[in-house]
Amino acid sequence: DAGITQSPRYKITETGRQVTLMCHQTWSHSYMFWYRQDLGHGLRLIYYSAAADITDKGEVPDGYVVSRSKTENFPLTLESATRSQTSVYFCATEQGDSPLHFGNGTRLTVT
């Protein structure tokens, strides 16, 4: 099916572990975004990408790494997870004047 897929839906990891959240789209949209959602903060932009091999920092990039070797994939890696990174993570795509299309989110718990 066409769309945007995030995996896993739920993840529990320990402090200090590396974890990667996956985001895959089937539309070939140019722009992709990663947000985290925390109560009281709304959605905060972590990283975004305008095209393959082009990425840039958002509002809260510290502790995260992204890559975009192919247009359709935009993984987000927490190199050494901390409890403060417990959150719901949303991936989104955008093309032209269309609105953002969001994935279903990944709920990450760091213990």
Partner 1 sequence: ELKVEQNPLFLSMQEGKNYTIYCNYSTTSDRLYWYRQDPGKSLESLFVLLSNGAVKQEGRLMASLDTKARLSTLHITAAVHDLSATYFCAVDPYDKIIFGKGTRLHILP
Contact positions vs partner 1 (CB under 8 A): 31, 33, 35, 40-45, 48, 50, 56, 58-59, 90, 92, 94, 97-105
Q: How far is the CB of 64 from partner 1 (least distance, A)?
A: 15
d(CA 48, CA 68): 10
Which of 66, 78, 84 is CA-nearest to residue 23? Answer: 66
Q: State the minimum distance, in angstroms, from the CB of residue 59 to partner 1.
A: 7
| CB contact at 8 A, 5 and 101 | no
| Minimum CB distance to partner 1 smaller for 56 or for 79 | 56
Between CA 59 and CA 45 the distance in angstroms is 5
Is the Cβ of residue 84 or residue 99 nearer to partner 1 in the bound state? 99
Q: Least Å distance between CB 67 and partner 1?
A: 18
Residue with structure tokens 């403060």?
84
